[in-house]
Amino acid sequence: MYAYDEIDRTLVNERVSEFRDQVKRRLSGELTEDEFKILRLQNGVYLQLHAYMFRVAIPYGTLATNQLRALAHVARKYDRGYGHFTTRQNIQFNWIKLAELPDALADLAKVGIHAMQTSGNNMRNVTSDQWAGVAPGEIEDPRIWSELIRQHTTLHPEFSFLPRKFKIAITASDHDRAAIKIHDIGLKLIKNEEGETGFEVLVGGGLGRTPFIGKTIKHFVHGRDILSYIEAILRVYNQYGRRDNIYKARIKILVHELGIEKFSREVEEEWQHIRNSSLQIDDEVIEDIRSRFTYPNYEKLPHMPDELRQATADADFEAWRKNSVSPHKVQGYSIVTISLKPIGAPPGDATAEQMDALADLADKYSFGEIRVGHEQNLALPHVAKRDLPALWKALDKLGLATPNVNLITDIIACPGLDYCSLANARSIPIAQELTRRFANHELANLIGRLHINISGCINACGHHHVGHIGILGVEKNGEEIYQITIGGRADEAAALGNLIGPGVKFDEVADVIEDVVEAYLALRERPEELFIDTVKRLGVEPFKERVYATR
Amino acid sequence: MPLVNGGKIADDSFVKLAVDTPLPESGDILVPAERFVGEAEVLLKRAGRVGVIWPNSRDIDELVPYLGKVAAVALVFPTFRDGRAYSQARLLRERYNYRGELRATGQILRDQFVFMLRAGFDSFEVKKQADAEAFMQTAKRYSVFYQPTGDGRITALHRRMQLRHSEGVGT
Ligand code: HEM
Ligand code: SF4
């Protein structure tokens, strides 16, 4: 866990007081809606279909239990009793009153949580691997660097009015859980031949209307130079990024239009001017940040405790353990993923009661720490294996033990027409219907790892391009039509999915997905061949045939 | 439009010229970039100070040869969403050591003052009178800064180091 000190807390409080003043000026009419819009966005406040929506940052996905309780408090006091965890390591509240927002922010500030730059054309919440610090085999805890970058980019005077929003993601593992290839800047922690820590830097990834997989701009940037290198990229982007057309303003378009070679030459030139400036970070600074991350006092525990051995006789427990429990770097411990995807419910929602209860469980079983992943699930990062059976029972009581992590009902979906003013189609009801169709655990298990991602419009908040199966809602002649892609993925082998054919109507989506899945079950070479691998081997054609032959 | 200079509402000694306004005999003038570059020699020989209005889409490097001779550089925020002039300001101050007046013009609201000060602006053509009056109060809004910029304010990272070292001395 990272502990805010007095300096960090002061900044957050100053930000709250500034926003309080801005809201006051808006309510008195001193600020027009047009002027206020950009200011509220910089504080995570959207005007949505029904009300204001409030987006709170969870930097690199790490939460302490008092922070989770504060989020529960906001849900209860200022909203309708629940919050929505998103693909960006954020939580959103959908029903907040503008006049109460400063108070909600002040309540969150007490526990070191803020909503700075969760929206607007600036540097967004820095995201990272939700297993950071506990994943076996990672180079080092990527959150130390995430925090360094978070601080550097917070209220950055030059990068608060960029052409468009800007997102950085960091991973330190070969298996990428942070989806770095679909971010404006993706950073992969690596060691060079001298054993020094640095980064492979990718640039220009992103989804939305024009999806791109990020390209490597530099194979190794030393840790001490990472801030100056990022600053160089952003400065080039700020000056040359397009502002004439909002749809072409993201850095991916600039990189695409200039070509990665020319773009990287521009960055290199800028970087040479600033790399030896005060942006260079010495080891002492990194050590200071590192020292404010605390790690649990792990016990020496057996690999296979008796409690766990006994529980394995219970098939329900085993079903859950198989997909929710992952190896930890410390023997005797596990990482537990908590599915926020119960059958028939909107993906990513959690009630205030669930958040509070989870905080209690994290205190009891996970050294007071919770993680939020981009799949809209939570995780407890340090659970002793002997506690797994007890934890499972407790989670089950809360409705948080659905054994579907990474299975077909572990769906990522944006809010779509139910909440979003930009939506063309519904997302949540599609997700709900699909979870019902595939509710049978044996079937889901037989299918194996399969990610469905749903977006209610081209903005791609549900990451549909990189879903193994992607579903995109569009509008045609006043009707909701869904385009279906297959073969996308967001991990280290990130790829964009391909369309399987013409879009289908709302009522047909679940049938079509069933057809695709049946086709896969018939086509796979052996049970271990995952859907995504079958698609890679065979391409779109056989799936297309299966789906459209009868339609 | 009120001008804030040196932290206070001030009179503007500069008269803005258009591309084709006849050149006044004397007095301080602010000239659009294209005219400035075209007539620099004539303009700089004249009595009175000369400043230049530099658009945010024009390469700032082109201005560098004149920096020792101009009395003011006015950078433009066509809307407050367009932040290109922040980069230009930092380049002028930090890379090219420009020490003259650096003016923010266009759509300037109190909510940008802190960002602008940090980027190196010291003079502001403010849109609303109330915002101009709130300058000092608004400029002091933040006491913590995370990133180093040319305004020289100590960053959070370095303040922590100092605190640590001073604690170290005591114990
Ligand atoms: C309900 C209010 C929301 C609005 C108005 C909204 C708006 C947008 C817009 C306009 C974009 C496209 C930006 C661009 O490409 O330049 C976008 C992208 C994105 N949004 Fe949302 N969004 C909302 C909710 C969400 C939610 C709930 C999630 C997560 C579940 C989310 C995650 C994302 C992500 C990951 C992207 C980036 C796609 C990319 O890589 O380009 N958003 N959003
Ligand atoms: S993808 Fe479209 S519909 Fe869905 S949340 Fe984003 S903007 Fe709204």
Across-strand partners of A63? A370
For residues A449-454, average pLDDT: 98
C-alpha A551 chain-centroid distance: 36
- Contact call for residues A143 and A293 (beta carbons, < 8 A): yes
The end-to-end CA distance of chain B, in Å, is 56
Lowest mean pLDDT among A168-182, A337-351, B148-162: B148-162
CB contact under 8 A, A14 and B141: yes
Contacts of A388 (CB under 8 A, 6+ apart): A307, A308, A311, A321, A325, A334, A336
Query: How far A445 CA sits from the closest chain B CA (Å)?
Result: 48
Contacts of B109 (CB under 8 A, 6+ apart): A35, B80, B126, B127, B128, B131
pLDDT over threshold 90, residue A37: yes
Contacts of A302 (CB under 8 A, 6+ apart): A331, A332, A385
**pLDDT tens, A483-492?**
999 999 999 9
Torsion sign over Cα B101, B107, B109, B115? negative
Give residue B170's pLDDT band: very low, low, confident or very high (50, 70, 90).
Answer: very low
Query: How far A87 CA sits from the closest chain B CA (Å)?
Result: 26
For residues A524-540, average pLDDT: 97
CB contact under 8 A, A288 and B81: no
What is the token pair recorded at A419?
């909440």
**pLDDT tens, B1-17?**
899 999 999 999 999 99
**pLDDT tens, A121-137?**
999 999 999 999 999 99
Provide the chain A residues 38-97 that lie in CB contact (below 8 A) with chain B. Answer: 38-39
- CB-ligand 2 contact for A457 (6 Å cutoff): yes
Instruction: Identify the nearest ligand to the CA of A413 by its number.
Output: 1
pLDDT over threshold 90, residue A324: yes
Contacts of A257 (CB under 8 A, 6+ apart): none
pLDDT over threshold 50, residue B162: yes
Q: Is A277 helix (H, G, I), strand (E, B) or coil?
A: coil
What is the token pair recorded at A220?
């190794």
Count the Cβ atoms, other than its own, within 10 Å of residue A247.
12
**What is the predicted pLDDT for the residue at B168?**
60
**pLDDT tens, A218-252?**
999 999 999 999 999 999 999 999 998 988 999 99
Q: How far is CA B11 from CA A247, B6, B125, in A?
A: 42, 11, 11
Q: Find, in chain B, the residue whose alpha carbon is nearest to that of A165.
A: B81
Residue nearest to atom 15 of ligand 1 (CA): A208
What is the token pair recorded at A278?
């005060």
- Nearest Cα neighbor of B62 from B33, B95, B105 is B33
| 3-state secondary structure labels for all residues of A330-370 | CCCEEEEEECCCCCCCCCCEEEHHHHHHHHHHHHHHCCCEE
For residues A502-512, average pLDDT: 97
Pairing of strands B101-106, B123-125: parallel
Give residue B169's pLDDT band: very low, low, confident or very high (50, 70, 90).
Answer: low
CB contact under 8 A, B80 and A38: yes
Q: Is A472 helix (H, G, I), strand (E, B) or coil?
A: strand
- CB-ligand 1 contact for A207 (6 Å cutoff): yes
Determine the Cα–Cα distance for residues A95 and A83; give it in Å rounded to an integer. 10
pLDDT over threshold 60, residue B171: no
CB contact under 8 A, A153 and B147: yes
Helix (H) or strand (E) holding A501: none
CB contact under 8 A, A17 and B141: yes
Pairing of strands A168-171, A185-191: parallel
Burial-class residue A300 by CB neighbours within 10 Å (0-12, 13-18, 19+): exposed
- CB-ligand 1 contact for A119 (6 Å cutoff): no
**What is the predicted pLDDT for the residue at A48?**
81
CB contact under 8 A, B119 and A158: yes
Share of chain B above pLDDT 90, in %: 88
Across-strand partners of A454? A413, A471
- Contact call for residues A306 and A387 (beta carbons, < 8 A): no
- Contact call for residues A470 and A485 (beta carbons, < 8 A): yes
**pTM, rounded to two decimals:** 0.95
Helix (H) or strand (E) holding A464: none
A246: which chain B residues are within 8 Å (Cβ-Cβ)? none
For A136, phi then psi, to 5°, come to -60, 140
**What is the predicted pLDDT for the residue at A3?**
81
Determine the Cα–Cα distance for residues A251 and A164; give it in Å rounded to an integer. 8
Q: Find, in chain A, the residue whose alpha carbon is nearest to that of B141.
A: A14
Contacts of A39 (CB under 8 A, 6+ apart): A19, A22, A31, B111
- Contact call for residues A158 and B119 (beta carbons, < 8 A): yes
Torsion sign over Cα B100, B105, B111, B115? negative
- CB-ligand 1 contact for A453 (6 Å cutoff): no
User: Which residue type is seen at A2?
Assistant: Y
For residues A471-487, average pLDDT: 97
**pLDDT tens, A76-113?**
999 999 999 999 999 999 999 999 999 999 999 999 99
Lowest mean pLDDT among A212-216, A281-285, B74-78: A281-285
- CB-ligand 1 contact for A49 (6 Å cutoff): no
Determine the Cα–Cα distance for residues A146 and A128; give it in Å rounded to an integer. 7
Determine the Cα–Cα distance for residues A506 and A480; give it in Å rounded to an integer. 6
Place of tokens 């054309």: A121
Q: Select the residue of B111, B143, B161 nearest A10 (Cβ to Cβ).
A: B143
**What is the predicted pLDDT for the residue at A51?**
82
Q: What is the ipTM of this complex?
A: 0.94
Pairing of strands B3-5, A504-505: unpaired
- Nearest Cα neighbor of A9 from A143, A106, A144 is A106
Determine the Cα–Cα distance for residues A469 and A489; give it in Å rounded to an integer. 9
Q: What is the DSSP secondary structure assignment for residue B95, as one 8-state letter?
A: I
